[in-house]
Structure formats: structure tokens, C-alpha cells
Amino acid sequence: MMGATSTPLRVSFSGIARGGWRVTQSVPVSGEGLPDASYVAISEGQAAPAGGALWTLSGVTSNLRYTTTDEKSRLASMSAPLGRAEATRAALIPIRKSPAWWELAQDERRKVFEERSRHIAIGMDYLPAVARRLHHCRDAGEPFDFLTWFEFPAAAEADFNRMVEQLRATEEWRYVVREIDIRLTSSASEGTPS
């Protein structure tokens, strides 16, 4: 799993009619969904989000919030990069947590996140097949707190599904009030022009 980059990077995901990733499914797990889009385009840095989008979600990469030094080192040594040719499947999972989550102190959130829910440990079990990048958006007034982007080979899709099921069964997920699971296939792998 990829963590944060040392320099914050603004990233926008736009639901559009044509783009780099074809939407194969969009399921509201908790709360309201998003308007149906056929594709998702990704804009990074200063690039403007895709025009004519049905929706655009934006976030920024940031420092790791709940990770110890040892966990950070292990993640860095085990993680695969985004953009691998064999990673033709992806998932965009926007999440918003309840006010009760944000009322907890940082150390209390860490206890729920890792000590009791094992969020990082569960994710490490699926490395290096599943690559991830987390985008923070709560402080920017966006409708979600986090946007998590995952990429993985088609052969790892069942493992990815198991990982998501494990995470959703944890104490941490009791604090999730809105979540959408958007699954995608690379247009390049299908020979579809972006």
C-alpha cells in the first residue's frame, strides 16, 4: 500500500462519459451514492478536473496520521507503485466518518484504527498486489473525509474483495456514515481510447 508522498499532491477524480478508467460498478455501501458515470478521469497537481463531469471529488495526499515508524518502514518496503501495467483493475472508495470519530483524540482514533481494528495490518496482508494512495479532503469542505484509490491486477481482485470485507467488519467501520465502492477497469487494458 502506498502511503502519503512527502510533497502534498492535489488529485481530482471526475465521473465522466469517457476517460482512463471504465466504471464497472458503483455501489453506495453507506449513505447516498453518486450520479452514475461511465468513466473516471484522474487529474493531478495543477491540471484542471475533467470538464463536463457528472461529479468531481478532490483531495490531497498528506503525511501519515496513524502510522508508527516501524509500520511506515514496513509499508515502504512492501508497497508496489501505482501505474503498474499489470494493475488493470482499480477501486475508488470515498469515505466520510461520523462526528463522533472526529471528536475522539488522535490517540483514541489510533487505538480504534490499528490496535483494535488492525487497519494497517490487514492492508499489509495484501501487499504488494494491491497498491493504494490516500487523499485527505475533510478540511477542504469536500463531501467526504477521504478518497482512497487502489490499483491491482485482475488476478488479485478476489483478494482485494476479502481485504475490503475484513476492514468493513472492524470497529473502525462503525464510524463510517457514507461510503461508495466504485470499481473500475483500465481503458488501456480494454483497448478503449481515453
User: How many Cβ atoms are within 10 Å of 102's Cβ, its own excluded?
Assistant: 11
> What one-letter code names the amino acid at 174?
R
* Percent of the chain's residues with pLDDT above 90: 82
The residue-averaged pLDDT of 67-89 equals 94
Looking at the chain, the number of H-run helices and the number of E-run strands are: 6, 8
Hey, what CATH topology would domain 10-190 get? Alpha-Beta Plaits (3.30.70)
Helix (H) or strand (E) holding 15: strand 10-16
- Compare 166 and 7 and report the one with higher pLDDT: 166
Model confidence over 16-46: pLDDT tens digits? 998 889 999 999 999 999 999 999 999 999 8
The three cell numbers locating residue 137:
479532503
CB 82 within 8 A of CB 141: no
Helix (H) or strand (E) holding 176: strand 176-186
- What DSSP character marks residue 111? I
Please list the residues that pair with 27 across neighbouring strands. Answer: 181
> What one-letter code names the amino acid at 4?
A
pTM exceeds 0.85, yes or no: yes
From the list 13, 82, 77, 22, the residue with the least C-alpha distance to 41 is 13
CB 132 within 8 A of CB 149: yes
